[in-house]
Amino acid sequence: MFDAVLTENGAGPQTLSEYKITWADVDLNGHVRSTAYMNYVTNARVEYFGARGAPIDGLIASGLGPVMLREFVEYKREARLGDLIRIRMKLKGLSETGERWVIQHEVVLPDEKTAVIVDVEGAWLDIQQRKMVVPPPHVKDVFLSLERAKDYAEISARRPALEIRK
């Protein structure tokens, strides 16, 4: 289903995952259903971490797993069956220890216009103890390799980072 390609731009690290919209990803209106966007952006994050030496299966085997705390989606334009979309990721927030994070995903259409922006706030979970933990330094380094969003801010390890948009 996914065919991710990670590239670097001249200005610094940028993730750019490409996906072709399939029949399974569209709804009765002929445009991409919301849950498909969540699958695309999740896969982009997993691919990014894996390409930078922190594969998700290895993290889970070591007892560390990502947990999503909040997801905000802003729909701007429709993506349709057969479109080739690209996902750009930027770091929007990170706690000092790397325990909590916010990644902004921009889903871009073939004409370079933005279809959707997805902000995901997450944290690292000790799978056995079922509580948030500080990740190993190499995991924090993966976050730091992302380009920072214009509205990047250091976030608290204990309070929600994303606020409801008005």
At residue 157, the pLDDT reads: 73
Q: Say which range, 54-63, 107-116, 157-166, has the weakest mean pLDDT.
A: 157-166
129-158 confidence digits (pLDDT tens): 999 999 999 999 999 999 999 999 999 877
CATH of 8-155, one of 3.40.50.2000, 1.10.3720.10, 3.40.50.720, 3.10.129.10: 3.10.129.10
Domains of the chain, residue spans: 8-155
- What is d(CA 150, CA 14) in angstroms, rounded to the nearest whole number? 14
At residue 159, the pLDDT reads: 63
Helical (H) or strand (E) element with 61: helix 56-61
Question: Which whole-number Å values give the CA distances from 99 to 65, 90, 94, 95, 158, in the listed order?
Answer: 11, 17, 8, 6, 9
For 69, phi and psi rounded to 5 degrees? -100, -40
Residue 28's contacts (CB-CB under 8 Å, 6 or more residues apart) are none
At residue 15, the pLDDT reads: 61
Report the relative pairing of strands 131-132 and 148-155 from DSSP bridges: unpaired
At residue 17, the pLDDT reads: 87
> What is the pLDDT confidence band of residue 102, given thresholds at 50, 70 and 90?
very high
1-32 confidence digits (pLDDT tens): 333 444 444 444 456 789 999 999 999 999 99
112 has pLDDT over 80:
yes
At residue 144, the pLDDT reads: 93
What is the reported pTM? 0.85
41-64 confidence digits (pLDDT tens): 999 999 999 999 999 999 999 999
